[in-house]
Amino acid sequence: MIMYTAKFGDLIEFSYPIGYSHWALYDGDGYVVHFAVAVGRVIDRQTIRRVHIREVKVPQGVRMFINNYHHSYVASDPWYIRQRVNALLGRQFTYDLFNLNCEHFATYLRYGRAVCNQRMMQSTSDTIEAVNFGRTYGMRKKQSINSKS
């Protein structure tokens, strides 16, 4: 079971039988941080949430696994991942399937770069790269890591 093998910062993929996946970042103790659309609320702003992995609403038959090797980027130091999680948790964003979805969000937390490798209906390439969350939403990277503990 993922809760016993996942480590902080791991990407969790919920793979749907239809070829789409939902993505979250493992936050420890059985919890994930994710960006999900509430049922029937696609056009509303969505809140970044931390929930127990069992509370992630996915259809029956969805496979769930750790998928850190799917992206060709090196994971950020856990300190930076934690800073991103803390800065975005509870914030609201407008979900955009092509430019700002759950995979963009999860990869931004882990790698500092928002990437989506899922094939979308509009996509003509294998990778859709979103604008960096930090630049888009006014977050600033720490200039100094002196406060790093």
CATH of the domain at 128: 3.90.1720.10
Q: Nearest Cα to 78, choosing from 112, 118, 120?
A: 112
Residue 34 forms part of a structural domain: yes
Residue 148 forms part of a structural domain: no
Residue 26 has, within 13 A of its CA and on its CB side, a CA count of 21
Residue 67 forms part of a structural domain: yes
Residue 143 forms part of a structural domain: no
pLDDT tier at 32 (50, 70, 90 boundaries)? very high
Give the mean pLDDT of 96-119: 90
In the chain, the number of structural domains is 1
Calculate ∠ Cα 46-94-103, nearest 5°: 80
Give the mean pLDDT of 115-132: 49
What integer pLDDT is reported at residue 39 of this predicted model? Answer: 60
Lowest mean pLDDT among 10-14, 15-19, 70-74, 138-142: 138-142
The yes-or-no verdict on residue 131 having pLDDT over 90 is: no
Residue 149 forms part of a structural domain: no
Is 116 a catalytic site residue?
A: no
Per annotation, catalytic residue among 34, 71, 104, 116: 34
Is 104 a catalytic site residue?
A: no
The yes-or-no verdict on residue 6 having pLDDT over 70 is: yes
Residue 115 has, within 13 A of its CA and on its CB side, a CA count of 17
User: Per-residue b/e over 8-18, b at no fewer than 16 CB within 10 Å?
Assistant: ebbbbbbbeee
Is 34 a catalytic site residue?
A: yes
Structural domain of 50? 2-136
The yes-or-no verdict on residue 119 having pLDDT over 70 is: no
Residue 85 forms part of a structural domain: yes
pTM of the model: 0.77
Residue 60 forms part of a structural domain: yes
10 compared with 62, residue with greater pLDDT: 10
**Residue 87 has which token pair?**
């800065």
Give the mean pLDDT of 128-139: 41
What integer pLDDT is reported at residue 50 of this predicted model? Answer: 97
Residue 103 forms part of a structural domain: yes
User: Per-residue b/e over 57-72, b at no fewer than 16 CB within 10 Å?
Assistant: eeeeeeebeebbeebe
Residue type (1 letter), 55: E
Per annotation, catalytic residue among 71, 102, 104, 116: 102
Give the mean pLDDT of 11-37: 92
